[in-house]
Structure 1
Amino acid sequence: MAKKAELSVEERLRALYDLQLIDSRVDEIRNIRGELPLEVRDLEDEVEGLNTRLEKLNNSLELIDNDIKAKKNLIEEAKTLIKKYAEQQKNVRNNREFNSLTKEIEFQELETQLAEKHIKEFKVQIEQKKEVISETKDRLKDRQTHLKHKKGELNAILAETEKEETALIKKSEEFQNQIETRLVEAYHRIRQNVKNGLAVVPIERGASGGSFFTIPPQVQVEIASRKKVITDEHSGRILVDAQLAEEEKAKMEKMFAKLA
């Protein structure tokens, strides 16, 4: 692996601030997308869940239909047996046989009544499930429409920004490769720990950018001299002077315009 060119402190500061401007632009693009990718993912999960629910409900209806068919078959069998036992009663030789057949008929009649009761219960279940299916279909249609709309929004934003974001990420990697690993690691660590991901900030009105803590005049002079990398004692951010920041902003804005 080729050794990184040795940069002066000022060159490092400029490269770090350029890297910050690039990464902040990427952050800005991602903020434009906002919560849309998460919303789309949540809606996709909800649509999938509703489809699964519908499938289970329809399978449940099919099972109930099979149960009703089974009960109807049982009723038909019971009627056949009742008819058979009634015919046999005409040819019995004694009361014991007659009573035995009567019990069989009564049993089959009870089986028929129980099966009819079950059929009624099953039909109530079918109506309840059909109501739930109808509500679920309405909900699914609504969520699918909402998903289509949100996907359209996201795709439109991606079409506008994806090319620029990809180019910026590549530029970010290029700038990181120019800077020594120790500084890049420190930069990423600070970015993770501070608000808005600003790890490198200029001095504004005697304070570090985004901070209310005043920087002592002597430290401001040191920062302006660009002889060493100085961090804000309160936020840990790397500090650059306002002039350097303005120069790099102007340079990077031209680059952003070309990438957009």
Structure 2
Amino acid sequence: MANKKELTVEEKLRALYDLQLIDSRIDEIRSMRGELPLEVEDLQDEVAGLNKRLEKLHVDLSSIETGIKEKKIAIDEFKEAIVKYTEQQNQVKNNREFNSLEKEIEFQNLEIELAEKHIKEMKASIESKKNNISDTETKLASRKEHLGHKEAELKSIMSETEREEQLLLEKSEEFMQNIEDRLLTAYTRIRNGVKNGLAVVSIERGASAGSYFTIPPQTQVEIATRKKIITDEHSGRILVDSALAAEEKEKIDAIIAKI
């Protein structure tokens, strides 16, 4: 792999600031999306969960309805058995057989009572399931509508920014090739260590951009000479003079405008 071109300090500062401007624009694009991709993902998961719940409720409802049909069939069978045992009672020749059949009839009647109790409980469960289905369907419709709006919003933002972001990422990689590894490592470390992602900032009104700490006049003069790379002692950010910053911003803005 070829060595990177040896740059003057000023060229290094310009390259670093160019990279910062490109990366800041990428940050801006991603900030526009904000939490929207996560919102969409959460809503998709919620809709999937509600669909699964609805499916289970319908399966449960069908199972209960089948159970009721089975109980009704069983009741008919118990009633048939009672008729059969009652007819047999009329033909028995002793009390022992009569009493035995009487116990069978009592047992069948108890089975009928138990089955009817279960049917009553299952019918109550059906009402509860139907209410749950109705509530779930209402919630699902609401979540689907909300998801549709959010997906449309995200699609709109993505269509506006996705191509620009991809081209900017390519530009960022391109600019990195012109920066020596040591500086690139420092840039990345500083950028990852601050909330706004600014690793290279200009001097504004005697202070580093975004900072309230004044840069000593002598240091400002040194920065303006562009003979050495100077960092802000308070934030650790790399400092460039406002004139250089303005020139590079104009250049990068022109590049971005063509994207």
Note the 1:149-160 alignment, pairs <5 A.
149-160=149-160
Please give the alpha-carbon distance, in whole angstroms, between the structure 1 residues aligned to 2:71 and 2:195: 69
User: Which contiguous aligned blocks of 4+ residues in structure 1 show a shift greater than 4 angstroms?
Assistant: none
Amino acid at match of 1:251: K
Match of 1:187 in 2: 187
Match of 2:172 in 1: 172
Amino acid at match of 1:204: E
Please give the alpha-carbon distance, in whole angstroms, between the structure 1 residues aligned to 2:146 and 2:95: 75
Match of 2:58 in 1: 58
Amino acid at match of 2:237: R
Match of 1:78 in 2: 78
Amino acid at match of 1:13: L
Note the 1:213-224 alignment, pairs <5 A.
213-224=213-224
Match of 1:141 in 2: 141
Please give the alpha-carbon distance, in whole angstroms, between the structure 2 residues aligned to 1:200 and 1:253: 17
Match of 1:204 in 2: 204
Q: How many residues align?
A: 259
| Superposition CA RMSD, Å | 0.9
Note the 1:39-50 alignment, pairs <5 A.
39-50=39-50
Match of 1:252 in 2: 252
Q: Match of 1:211, SS? A: coil
More deviation, 181-190/114-123? 181-190
More deviation, 223-232/44-53? 223-232
Give a deviation string over 1:37-91, Cα, whole Å, max 9, x none. Answer: 1111111011001001001111111211221122112111111111111111011
Please give the alpha-carbon distance, in whole angstroms, between the structure 1 residues aligned to 2:96 and 2:227: 119
Q: Does 1:239 find its partner at 2:239? A: yes
Please give the alpha-carbon distance, in whole angstroms, between the structure 1 residues aligned to 2:185 and 2:78: 83
**Residue 8 of structure 1, CA deviation:** 1.1
**Residue 195 of structure 1, CA deviation:** 2.6
Amino acid at match of 1:139: K
**Residue 214 of structure 1, CA deviation:** 0.8
Q: Match of 2:4, SS? A: coil
Please give the alpha-carbon distance, in whole angstroms, between the structure 1 residues aligned to 2:226 and 2:133: 70
Give a deviation string over 1:187-221, Cα, whole Å, max 9, x none. Answer: 11111111311110001111111001111112111
Please give the alpha-carbon distance, in whole angstroms, between the structure 1 residues aligned to 2:74 and 2:54: 30
Question: Which consecutive residues of structure 2, in runs of 5 or more, have no partner in the other structure?
Answer: none
Amino acid at match of 2:172: S
Normalised TM-score (structure 2):
0.98
What percent identity do the matched residue pairs reach?
67
Match of 2:30 in 1: 30
Amino acid at match of 2:47: V
Give a deviation string over 1:86-105, Cα, whole Å, max 9, x none. Answer: 11101111111111111110
